[in-house]
Chain A
Amino acid sequence: MDYSILQFLFFAEIIIFLIVVFSQMVKKNKNLVLFYLLQSTVVFLMLILISYSESSITLLVTAIIMFLVKVIIAPRFFLKLINNNQVKSSASSYLSTPVTLFVVMFIVIFANSSVFEVLISLSEKVDKTIPFAIASILSSIFLIINRRGALSQIIGILYLENSIISFAFLIEIKQTLVLELGILFDISVWIVIAVVFISMVYKNFGSLNISEIKKLQD
């Protein structure tokens, strides 16, 4: 990989990370979906660039199918769900915005600590980029933990999946085409099930707030 591609990967990874950070503060579900669309597009561009630099048809096919699933189908599903059920506003988070940002800061420090030296050493060419990927993964998990709304949790899981994929490509973990397609198929099925499940929960309980649903159980 030449220097310009590495530069692009660096910036792409920063965008992926920043999207996760901004999502921590966003309250509207629609914006969350749009952020996801943007993040998926960046991951798609990353894959396209890597496939170009390695002249890999396999990666190209994977990238195109990923584009279809994550940039077109999944956001459409979610936007339709939001419009049909009028779930415009996402439920609040457990921590306030300043505390949330404080935790994210700790995550960034942790991602840059010596704990991950082994992972960073896996690919010396992108050693400055990998900490951002790790911070994206951990921040995505934190997003799922911090959010009360089921929809934002599901989108958080998709952020996590994007972060893991970008991290895997940075350290050059590549699978066979069949396996990559299998993973994408898995994700698309998961999105369909999650959306159906969410709409059923919303119809029955009138809320997607996890705490409220728990109270109904009692």
Chain B
Amino acid sequence: MGLLLQKEFFILAGIFVLGSIGSLLFRRNNNMANWWANSCAALGSLFGILLSGNVLLYNNIYTLQLPLTFSLLPVNVKIDMLSAFFILIISVVSLLSSIYAIGYMRQFYKEYNLGLFGFFYNFFILSMILVASANNALYFLFVWEIMSLTSYFLVIFEHKHKESIKAGFLYFIMTHIATGGILLAFLILYSFLGSFDFDVIRENVSSLPSFWISIVSLLMLAGFGTKAGIIPLHIWLPKAHPAAPSQVSAIMSGVMIKTGILMLIRLFFDVIPITPLWFGLLIIIVGAISSLLGVLYAISEHDIKKLLAYHSVENIGIILLGVGSSLVFLSFDLKSLALLALVAALFHTMNHAIFKSLLFLGAGSVVLATRTRNIEEYGGLIKIMPQTALFFLVGAISISALPPFNGFVSEWLTFQALFLGVMQFDIFTKGVFIFGIASLALTGGLAAACFVKAFGITFLAKPRSQKSENAKESSLLLRLPMAVLSLACLALGVFSIFVIPYLESLAGSLSIFAGISLVLVEGITFHTQNNSSSLAIIPVLIALLLTFVFSFIFFNWISRRQKEKIYSTWDCGGNLTPRMEITATSFSRSIVMIFSGILKPTKQINREYDDSNIKYFTKSSTVSLRMNDLYNKYLYCPISNFVYKIANFLRRIQCGIVNFYLLYILITIVILLILVTR
């Protein structure tokens, strides 16, 4: 079996490398490059599914240490159940996104070089798989950097747009600050334990002083949290994800940010599972704030892809609620509760990957058909693009955590974990859990409201612009992946009773949970320490269906004697135009005003008059509502100003005379010598 896995792993890597190099070779023929790059990416992803499936089904841990490696960069790969789970998610989303891309990328044939895109795209997917399977910090940092760089080039793919370049630059800066934090954390571990190898760190981590454990934990949270998009380190995410082509947005939002979550789980539950209580509570608070603010910013957004990107921040927050609760339970040695919370986090990780990629692909189809990302210019697309509308609706219901779709089950599990936390601890810890519950409840409601807006304004009513009127339904290559993802959303919800035991055994495979189980009995009923909860998803589904059927029958029964007459809508004596429809701005305005203390909306009214001297007769007036970017104003601008001042001061060192540079070198050598021999 090990040999088979090894073959699969090398074939997988080989296909992606072939895809990259082949794309470059076909760079003069965009059509060939597109087909080659995406076919290879799809095939490689298929092998990824096979590889991870092999590990997950047979619980075969696959390890690989290349004999030819040199000591500075040891290629140390380990695919256990946890890695295999994330490789599965990466591969599934990448497979479907690559099929989608074959149709989607055709729009760029005349504008951009798809050979170059294919090169980075294949390496990007491969690097994510390698990140998930890394078992050595140096090797991990190497593949992590490849992932960051390739994704940067994908973000700036549409380099003729200034916005893309700006977004890419911000992403580049943030991702490297994050890498700096991670590197520092690993160096601290190395200075104490003398190894970058995860297995060695795991064995000796108990000798690490508690102060340094706290420092390492904070650095890891900041580093991986930036990649995952936690607030306030998320600022790159709403800019970078929308800038990339839609299938890349789907992969970045659906799975790339999850590599941050994977590493948080890998480190805090497996490699250094000795984090203090306050750290778990901090993660819950960060998760609660991220989920709430993420959805609030989403609701005020009118760029469809930015809106979805903000929902990624929200969902990362929900996942962190599960992760944080699990860490708190572990601090109190409540292992079965910790297992439950971790299962909730893992399930939501998977669900978010599925429904977020579905939504991004759906948004991509709409953008492709209308050539705009502005929701205000959509409308009436359900008649033009009925299938895309259906798929987007499935995604919207899933992300809004409505039964029977997958988002509901994982959020329900997260709720259970948080409720069980409230029942256990002292007043302070309880307070943190209650804060988590309140924010999760509010987030669920706001997410539903946001997607009523997103779906309603996009697909319902009349087209608001010529672009929407001229739109056409997407091609089969675009609809097929969306259909599969929609079915997955439903299946993961309805059949969650079969998925959760798998996730339980997966989380249970981590050494910290050895011998612990949730005692699953019939469906989603579990018994933990002194508690039990249950959710019967199939009866819920049946109840929903019955309600729908009975409502339909009842409606037909009461209106059986009424004859249907069609009248035109009363239009106040004028003509009904799309301008009379409710806009996305007006829809979200009431919610924005409720949270104006957080969102700080600004309103600017511009009026033009027929006669500028007599301001009685208005010619035209425009109202623009904007949200103040609090993070920029209160966090990033002061930091940036500070750095700018220091840089200006340090500029004096850069005199441009070679003698001075040599003098700096000499002084540095002398100081180092004195320090070394002190």
Contacts and interface: CB of A to CB of B under 8 A. Distances in A.
Contacts of A117: 677
B573 interface: no
Interface in B625-678: 656-660, 662-663, 665-666, 670, 673-674, 677
A111 B677 CA distance: 13
A142 interface: yes
Contacts of A118: 677
Contacts of B659: 94, 144-148, 153, 210
A141 B662 contact: yes
A67 interface: no
Contacts of A97: none
Contacts of A214: 656-657
Contacts of A153: 658-659
Contacts of A148: 659
A84 interface: no
Interface string A201-216: 0000000001100100
B666 A141 contact: yes
A217 B677 CA distance: 42
B674 A145 contact: no
A83 interface: no
A135 interface: no
A110 B671 CA distance: 12
A115 B674 contact: yes
B662 A210 contact: no
A115 B675 CA distance: 9
A146 B656 CA distance: 15
Contacts of B658: 153, 210
B657 A144 contact: no
Contact of B666 (A115, A116, A138, A210): A138
A166 to B, nearest CB: 18
A110 B666 contact: no
Interface in B361-419: none
Given A110-B670, A141-B666, A144-B662, A210 B657 contact: yes
Given A153-B658, A210-B657, A210-B658, A145 B673 contact: no
A114 interface: yes
B371 to A, nearest CB: 48
A145 B677 contact: no
Kindly state the interface size class of chain A when it binds its partner: 20 to 34
Given A110-B670, A145-B663, A115 B657 contact: no
A200 B591 CA distance: 70
A142 to B, nearest CB: 7
Contact of B656 (A114, A142, A147, A217): A217
B677 A115 contact: yes
B654 to A, nearest CB: 12
Interface residues of B, number: 13
Interface string B93-129: 0000000000000000000000000000000000000
A144 B657 CA distance: 12
A121 to B, nearest CB: 11
Interface string B503-535: 000000000000000000000000000000000
A145 B670 contact: no
A86 B28 CA distance: 54
A152 B665 CA distance: 19
Nearest to A150: B658
A210 to B, nearest CB: 6
Contacts of B673: 115-116
A210 B659 CA distance: 9
Nearest to B656: A214
Contacts of B663: 145
A115 B672 CA distance: 10
Given A141-B662, A142-B666, A211 B657 contact: yes
A147 B666 CA distance: 15
A117 B678 CA distance: 11
Interface string A81-122: 000000000000010000000000000001000111110000
A207 B677 CA distance: 43
Contacts of A114: 677
Contacts of B666: 138, 141-142, 145
Contacts of B657: 210-211, 214
A6 B70 CA distance: 41
| Candidate in A114, A115, A146, A217 with the most chain B CB atoms within 10 angstroms | A115
A197 B332 CA distance: 71
A86 to B, nearest CB: 24
B256 to A, nearest CB: 44
A114 B673 CA distance: 10
Interface in A116-131: 116-118
A214 B666 CA distance: 22
A138 B670 CA distance: 9
A142 B662 CA distance: 8
Nearest to B660: A145
Interface in B214-241: none
B656 to A, nearest CB: 6
Contacts of A144: 659, 662
A110 B667 CA distance: 13
A178 B677 CA distance: 34
Nearest to B655: A214
A146 to B, nearest CB: 7
B656 A145 contact: no
A211 B655 CA distance: 11
Contacts of A141: 662, 665-666
A100 to B, nearest CB: 13
Nearest to B664: A145
A144 B666 CA distance: 11
B623 to A, nearest CB: 51
Contacts of B662: 141, 144-145
Nearest to B666: A141
A168 B659 CA distance: 26
B559 to A, nearest CB: 86
Nearest to A218: B656
Contacts of B665: 141
Interface in B453-475: none
Given A115-B673, A145-B663, A147-B659, 4 more contacts: A94-B659, A141-B662, A145-B660, A145-B666
11 contacts: A114-B677, A115-B674, A116-B677, A141-B666, A142-B666, A144-B662, A145-B660, A210-B658, A210-B659, A214-B657, A217-B656
Q: What are the nearest 10 A-B pairs in CB distance?
A: A145-B662, A145-B663, A115-B677, A145-B659, A141-B666, A115-B673, A144-B662, A214-B656, A115-B674, A118-B677
